[in-house]
Amino acid sequence: MKHFFIAIALLLVAPLSAQQYLTRQGTITFDAGSPLEDIAAKSESASAVYDSETGKLGVQVLMTSFVFKRALMQEHFNENYVESEIYPKASFRGTFSDGRAVGTLTLHGVSKEIDVPASLSVEGDVAKLHTEFPVSVADFEIGIPKTVANKIDKEAKTTVDCTLKLRR
Amino acid sequence: MSRILSLFALLLSVTNLCAQDDLFDLLDESVPETQTVFATFKGTQLINAPTNETPGKGVLQYVIAHRFGSFTDDYLYNFFGLDNAQIRMQLDYGITDRLNIGIGRSSVLKVADSFVKYKAFQQRTGANAFPFSLTLNSSINYRAARYTDGIDHDRTDRISYYHTAIFARKWSPSISTLFSPGLVHWNTVPGRDDPNTTLHATLGGRIKLNKRIALTGEFSLMNNSTLSDGSTFTVPGGVGIDIETGGHVFQIHLSNTRAMSNPYWLSRNTFSALDGSLLLGFNISRVFTVR
């Protein structure tokens, strides 16, 4: 009897680790532009993990991996706005269920609970994650000087597109 | 039986915990740990000396610089030196993120110059760390001003060169320093025994006061400061403030230099801060992304 339970317990371990999906080439874009200034950037090296068993979902991106059209804007973004040297990463840790991603978004050292619509479809070995949501610049204590305040959208439209593969 | 059940429950919870921890740990594993250090300095030049920075790929930069008259030169009569301002204009372009070429024209001795600058190594942190940035910079300078020594000069006599290796390190987000050993070569010198080549070492640094304003300073040493015709040259140096606003960098400074092309401020500077010969000046840069 004892051995039977241990056997079951051991069996349970295997499927738990077999339901994990992972990518290291996820795409995250954001657009905080205005009619006065084109402010948009894209990272193609975001990581995302998803466990279809537990519904746990995690996304993480290195701030310096965001590429802007203008080199100077990229430098200002990292140096003066998100302060990448102090806060190198942005992350989401939470769960996905019923078309919503719920969890903690951490950016610029500030953590906030978010609940945003998302789609996550699992087909065979591949899980596709897509979500779009606004990120309020003020919520994450990212300072915008008054002189450029009318050039920057207070809400950065953020898009996440990741194709995750089953881990074996 | 109950003991077995609790063991079972414990096992389950342990595996569950492991699975959760592992999942988010995977995120950190995948982050490339090596990061290139950026924005060591605000400008491509500190006061007079070039920094390790280049404008970046596809970026056209225009720099306009002024040096006003010395405090010892009839300061009020010359309207705080504005009446005898000297000017340098520079246009340069980033071919890649590391390679930068440009041209310039200074009014002191009507010197035209062209330069090439290359980021050989960039400071990195993390797994594959590298402690400093190294940028190489060379310029060729052509003096267009007429000679007054009565000698017939070849065109090549008018040329001088400056080569330097700029070692820079960003110690923290607000503190950066540079050390740039270099040499100046003059095609013409006044006397037979005067060296054509002089060695130099520039030391400089900046401290950021806030996100957009920084305090800067630099001075340069040289190995030969007197020439056979009796001229002596001083240690060029200065202190300044960098102000950044969007696409502009304003650099306002107090220095003992007037010439703005490299060989002339570095190796042929005659102003001495000890005599009170200080000059106000500024550099303004504007960048345009043309790619």
Amino acid B127: pLDDT: 85
Is A58–B24 a contact, with Cβ atoms under 8 angstroms apart? yes
> How does residue B23 score in pLDDT terms, banded at 50, 70 and 90?
confident
Domain boundaries, chain B: 1-30, 37-289
The residue of B10, B15, B21, B23 whose CB has the most chain A CBs within 10 angstroms, and thus the best one to mutate to test that interface, is: B23
Looking at this predicted complex, what is its ipTM?
0.79
Question: Does A13 score more than 70 pLDDT?
Answer: no
Chain A residues lying within 8 Å of B55, measured CB to CB: 71-72
User: pLDDT for A75-119, tens place per residue?
Assistant: 999 999 999 999 999 999 999 999 999 999 999 999 999 999 999
The residue of A50, A69, A70, A129 whose CB has the most chain B CBs within 10 angstroms, and thus the best one to mutate to test that interface, is: A70
Inter-CA distances, A84 with A44, A66, B30, B151, B213, Å:
17, 11, 18, 59, 18
Distance from CA of A96 to the nearest CA of B (A): 14
pTM of the complete model? 0.85
Is B20–A56 a contact, with Cβ atoms under 8 angstroms apart? yes
Task: List, in order, residues 6 or more apart from B149 with CB less than 8 Å away.
Answer: none
The residue of A72, A79, A80 whose CB has the most chain B CBs within 10 angstroms, and thus the best one to mutate to test that interface, is: A72
State what percent of residues in chain B have pLDDT above 70.
91
The larger pLDDT score, comparing residue B205 to residue B26, is at: B205
H or E, element range at B185: strand B175-186
Is B27–A49 a contact, with Cβ atoms under 8 angstroms apart? yes
- Which residue on chain B is closest to A6 by alpha carbon? B8
A53 CB burial (10 A radius; 0-12, 13-18, 19+) = middle
User: pLDDT for B152-179, tens place per residue?
Assistant: 888 999 999 999 999 999 999 999 999 9
Of A104, A148, A109, A120, the residue nearest A23 (C-alpha)? A120
- Interchain CB contact of B212 with A (< 8 Å): yes
State what percent of residues in chain A have pLDDT above 70.
89
- Which residue on chain A is closest to B94 by alpha carbon? A71
Size of interface A-B (CB pairs under 8 A): 108
Question: Does B19 score more than 50 pLDDT?
Answer: no
Q: Give me the residue from B35, B58, B211 closest to A80, CB to CB.
A: B211
Chain A residues lying within 8 Å of B212, measured CB to CB: 80, 145
The answer to whether the CB of A137 falls within 8 A of the CB of A112 is: no
Reading the block at residue A97, the tokens are 């269920």
Inter-CA distances, A74 with A78, B220, B289, Å:
6, 32, 12
Distance from CA of B164 to the nearest CA of A (A): 25
Distance from CA of A19 to the nearest CA of B (A): 10
Distance from CA of B282 to the nearest CA of A (A): 21
User: pLDDT for A109-151, tens place per residue?
Assistant: 999 999 999 999 999 899 999 999 999 999 999 998 888 888 9
Phi and psi of B150, rounded to 5°?
75, 0
Mean pLDDT of B267-280: 93
What are the structural domains, with CATH classification, of chain A?
A: 20-166 (2.40.128.110)
Average pLDDT along chain A: 89
Chain B residues lying within 8 Å of A40, measured CB to CB: none
Amino acid B18: pLDDT: 47
Amino acid B235: pLDDT: 96
- Which residue on chain B is closest to A50 by alpha carbon? B23
The larger pLDDT score, comparing residue B256 to residue B247, is at: B256
- Point out the least confidently predicted range of A130-144, B5-19, B233-247: B5-19
Question: Does B134 score more than 90 pLDDT?
Answer: yes
Of B125, B117, B102, B132, the residue nearest B40 (C-alpha)? B132
Is B23–A71 a contact, with Cβ atoms under 8 angstroms apart? no
Is A80–B28 a contact, with Cβ atoms under 8 angstroms apart? no
Chain A residues lying within 8 Å of B35, measured CB to CB: 62, 64, 88
Distance from CA of A145 to the nearest CA of B (A): 10
- CA triplet B233, B235, B240: central angle to 5 degrees? 135
Is A58–B26 a contact, with Cβ atoms under 8 angstroms apart? yes
Tell the CATH topology of B37-289: Porin (2.40.160)
3-state secondary structure of B221: strand
Distance from CA of B211 to the nearest CA of A (A): 6
